[in-house]
Amino acid sequence: MQRGPVSQFIEKNYLHFNAAALVDAAKGYEQHLLEGGKMMITLAGAMSTAELGISLAEIIRQGKVDIISCTGANLEEDIMNLVAHSHYKRVPHYRDLGPTDEWELLEGGYNRVTDTCIPEEEAFRRIQKHIFKQWKGAG
């Protein structure tokens, strides 16, 4: 099997301690798949902000993962990003914001999550009616 550039780099350079354990785990995963095994990925925390869906979509298409278990936050963030990403507002110096700055963001329709503001109207309100309909239908 021809190894890609990332695999080649890892096999050449990840030789000791936890790096070597990563190589061993990757080889075990590969063997598991070759033997017809299934794989589950579990996620906790806000990983969707790293555009993790791009990586996950590809490994799902390739049949390398069969189940994903994640927190609701990951799903929510992906949905918000899908419908409103071009309206997000970055706040690089968010640690320096005072109460007045926070209030101005809120009054401007932005919900701040660390260094990024999610726009209320473009994200939450745009999908609210759809989610509410699903929620009512489930009852």
Residue 89, both tokens: 């507002």
Q: Output the pLDDT for position 70.
A: 82
What pTM, to 2 d.p., does this model score? 0.59
- Residues 48 and 112 both lie in one domain: yes
Residues 26 and 46 in one domain: no
Per-residue model confidence as pLDDT tens for the chain (139 residues): 688 999 999 999 999 999 999 999 999 999 999 999 999 998 876 666 667 777 888 889 998 999 988 877 777 777 888 899 899 999 999 999 999 999 999 999 999 988 999 999 999 899 998 889 998 998 7
**Do 59 and 28 belong together in one domain?**
no
Provide CB contacts within 8 A for 7, sequence distance 6+: 26
- Around 67, how many Cα atoms within 13 Å sit in the side-chain half-sphere? 6
Rg (alpha carbons) of the chain, rounded to whole number = 20
Domain residue limits at 17: 1-37
Q: How many domains does the chain have?
A: 2
The CA-to-CA distance between both ends of the chain, in Å, stands at 51
Classify 65 as helix, strand or coil: coil
Same domain, yes or no, for 127 and 115? yes
17 and 54 housed in the same domain:
no
**According to the model, what pLDDT value does residue 48 have?**
62
